Chain A
Amino acid sequence: MNRVSARTVTWLLVLVALAVTQVLQSHLPDPTSSSRPFDRTGKVGQTIALRSGDLEVTTVRGATSAVVGSPPGFRSPGVIVVASFTWSARTERATLSAGELRASSGRTYVVSAVGLDRGRIDCGASSPGLVRQCTVLVEAPPDALEGATLVLSPTDDGRFDDEAVVDLGIDAATAARWARTGAITVPGGHYVGQAP
Chain B
Amino acid sequence: MTVDGQRPGAGRHRAPNDPVQPGQAGQPGEQALPTDPAGRLRTWLADRPFQHYAYAVGAVLLALTGIFGGLRTVDTTVAPLAGGRPVTAAPLTITITRTSWTTNLGPPGKAPAGQRFLTVAGTVRNDTATSVGSDVLGRAVHLQGVPDVYQDSFGDDVGASESASPWGIFVTQDSTRLAYVGPGLTYQAAWVFRQKDTQPAPTSVTVEVDGHTFRADTIDGTMKWLDPAVVATGTLPMKAAGS
- Cβ contacts under 8 Å, A77 to chain B: 185-187
Number of interface residues of B (CB under 8 A): 24
CB-contact partner of A139 in B130, B173, B182, under 8 A: B182
CB pair B185 A74 closer than 8 Å = no
CB-contact partner of B67 in A1, A15, A108, A111, under 8 A: A15
User: Known contacts A73-B174, A110-B131: does B67 contact A119 (CB below 8 Å)?
Assistant: no
Shortest CB distance A72–B (Å): 7
CB pair B221 A18 closer than 8 Å = no
Does chain B have a CB within 8 A of A19? yes
CB pair B180 A119 closer than 8 Å = yes
CB-contacts of B6-33 with A (<8 A): none
- Cβ contacts under 8 Å, B67 to chain A: 15, 18-19, 22
CB pair B179 A109 closer than 8 Å = no
CB pair B174 A72 closer than 8 Å = yes
* Bound-state Cα–Cα, A5 to B68, Å: 25
CB pair B183 A107 closer than 8 Å = yes
Grouping DSSP codes into helix (H, G, I), strand (E, B) and loop, the B interface class, with mixed when no group exceeds half, is: mixed
CB pair B178 A118 closer than 8 Å = yes
* Bound-state Cα–Cα, A139 to B38, Å: 72
- Cβ contacts under 8 Å, A106 to chain B: 129
Most buried by A among B38, B67, B133: B67
CB pair A108 B129 closer than 8 Å = yes
User: Known contacts A78-B185, A140-B185: does B176 contact A118 (CB below 8 Å)?
Assistant: yes
* Bound-state Cα–Cα, A1 to B38, Å: 8
Residues of B within 8 A of A (CB): 38, 64, 67-68, 129-131, 133, 171, 173-174, 176-180, 182-187, 221-222
A-B contact pairs, 11 of them (CB 8 A): A74-B176, A77-B186, A78-B182, A111-B180, A117-B176, A118-B171, A118-B177, A118-B178, A140-B182, A140-B185, A141-B183
Residues of A within 8 A of B (CB): 1, 4, 15, 18-19, 22, 31-32, 72-78, 100, 105-112, 114-119, 138-141, 143-144
